[in-house]
Chain A
């Protein structure tokens, strides 16, 4: 029950931060907006104070999450859950749409790795339909799906 309560708090905080921005109706001048706690939102509607609370609640709920060095800068050292998880409670893998914004579509990624002996982004078993987070994990060691059956490895794959 305690976990549920915290989960709910997290969800409401998420919806809250997102809700104010969405209902503000004027996304052109977000700098003038204030969050539910009376503090200002930044350019992308991100409320550092609310987000920090959210991150703290999440840490209490799920325990300390590991973070990957190469993403620390963009999610403010783990304080911006929304960046990947959108308005949802960060209890489920995020939608690919949030990865695609920076990394390109699966089709584009397949072209990037097209010269490898085995193209992980266009495998004969799954084509380009593998969700990013199947292999690439932020909060646990990354592991390629191929490794369930095959022992070949990818040199540039970040663990």
Chain B
């Protein structure tokens, strides 16, 4: 073949013929470029867990990742995982249960969670946590209590990032025989005449976000396709279609590949959508840096609990700075825009003792995300806040701290932390503005991670999904550190069931 091509080199006519031929073969329905038992799309927490589970059931497994780097949004996640009944909890004498974790998540989700999925996720966290340790994931010896959780149940990886999990799980999957292929994008889920899934159309050598890059290939799937393709929070046109208020002035904490194409591919084979307009906004983000950055840690651990957030136009507070994510973000979007849509980024600030729990403040200062001021006058002048109302607001807040009760917005004031509240200069300040953080919605799955058909309401044969691409588990609003829990538990279930799908897919043939 090489020789023949060599002889014909330069002949445009010949090359035209070869293109026509190869194009025809690519589109022919009985031609396959490659064949696998299980193909997993996406290499985040769910995809890595699915690949391991599928290999353990003996299925030949391919993981495709559209980005040049593996790990998806999981790689830049904060590395915090809620576990009900972890060894660390037992060691520290903390009583926790699957039921208690479910109750917390239901409250956060405002009761709209799919309870059957929620139960499977919470019941699977302890086992999933052990699985990560088996593959060498290193956890810190501390437990945290994130907002909305009623006990300390959140474990944290050593470097505060999801990369601490995705890297060892990917290496573990590869050791077990899974193949990981980057720059390979899911274009379409292929079906035969009767609608049964036969494989996937992918774009190899994809150069995100150039949709014309690379070449199309057809991969055959014998047992199951597992969609672990994550959320679409960074897909602004699609996001605005669901919720027009989330335009490009609203940032996003997600990686650039968090787009919606795989969701469209799933809808095209009749996957039932759930809650697609429900996006969780992180109220602790900063407009002065892109993506997740350093601001969330500073605001969550310093300015919001121990200081105040004010509207720069009148120097007044407008929300309980420690309410749940949805309440705070809704308030920012409502209060800090004028009729023309102009945004006045609110400013959150605290005194120096308030910053002791925020290890990243030094980076935030260095990189121009946070500022340090020696007086309220300086702070007010920098942000253009009217000074007298600001002074009055600070005075009011100090009196609430003294009383132990926030009479304006009901923020909890803890006696044992009294020394950390807003008091004397210097002040540490940053601007706070919500960013799209998590897609509550996605496709509907059952407890076996099978994707549900929107008309028949039955499982679609050979189609599985796990992680942020699915909806329902977290209802209206997800609690912090429950994403890793969900993705690892459901990813494992999806990969295992796809691999065990052998009998049924044969019967279907």
A52 to B10, CA, bound (A): 12
Q: Which residues of B lie under 8 Å from residue A92 when comparing CB positions?
A: 183, 205, 207, 213-214
Which of B115-123, B156-164, B337-345 lies at the binding interface? B156-164
Interface string of A107-143 (1 = CB under 8 A from B): 0000000000000000111110111011000000000
Interface pair A126/B10, CB less than 8 Å apart: no
Residues of B within 8 Å of A, CB-based: how many? 47
Q: Which of A11-42 contact B (CB under 8 A)?
A: 11-13, 15-20, 22-23, 36-37
Which of B219-227, B270-278, B284-292 lies at the binding interface? B284-292
A16 to B7, CA, bound (A): 7
Q: Which residue of chain A lies nearest to B167 when distances are taken between CB atoms in the complex?
A: A127
Interface string of B2-14 (1 = CB under 8 A from A): 1101111111101
Interface pair B70/A129, CB less than 8 Å apart: yes
Which of B15-23, B127-135, B437-445 lies at the binding interface? B15-23
Interface pair B18/A126, CB less than 8 Å apart: no
**Which residue of B6, B14, B170 has the most chain A CB atoms within 10 A of its CB atom?**
B6
A156 contacts B by Cβ under 8 Å? no
B393 contacts A by Cβ under 8 Å? no
Which of A1-9, A65-73, A74-82 lies at the binding interface? A1-9
A123 to B327, CA, bound (A): 35
Q: Which residue of chain B lies nearest to A37 when distances are taken between CB atoms in the complex?
A: B10
Interface pair B207/A12, CB less than 8 Å apart: no
A149 contacts B by Cβ under 8 Å? yes
A94 to B294, CA, bound (A): 33
A9 to B367, CA, bound (A): 49
Interface string of B24-53 (1 = CB under 8 A from A): 000000000000000000000000000000
Q: Which residues of A lie under 8 Å from residue B291 when comparing CB positions?
A: 148-150
Provide the main secondary structure of the chain A interface: helix
Interface pair B11/A149, CB less than 8 Å apart: no
Provide the main secondary structure of the chain B interface: loop
A151 to B366, CA, bound (A): 9
Contacts A16-B5, A152-B367: A125 and B207 contacting too (C-beta < 8 A)? no
B482 contacts A by Cβ under 8 Å? no
A88 to B255, CA, bound (A): 29
A151 to B367, CA, bound (A): 6
Q: Which residues of A lie under 8 Å from residue B8 when comparing CB positions?
A: 12, 16
A50 contacts B by Cβ under 8 Å? yes
Nearest CB of B to A36, in Å: 4
Contacts A18-B2, A134-B68: A36 and B164 contacting too (C-beta < 8 A)? no
Interface pair A19/B167, CB less than 8 Å apart: no
Nearest CB of A to B269, in Å: 28
22 CB-based A-B contacts, threshold 8 Å: A5-B16, A9-B15, A13-B9, A16-B5, A16-B6, A16-B7, A20-B3, A37-B10, A92-B213, A93-B183, A124-B161, A124-B164, A125-B162, A129-B70, A130-B68, A131-B69, A133-B68, A145-B69, A148-B256, A149-B289, A149-B293, A152-B367
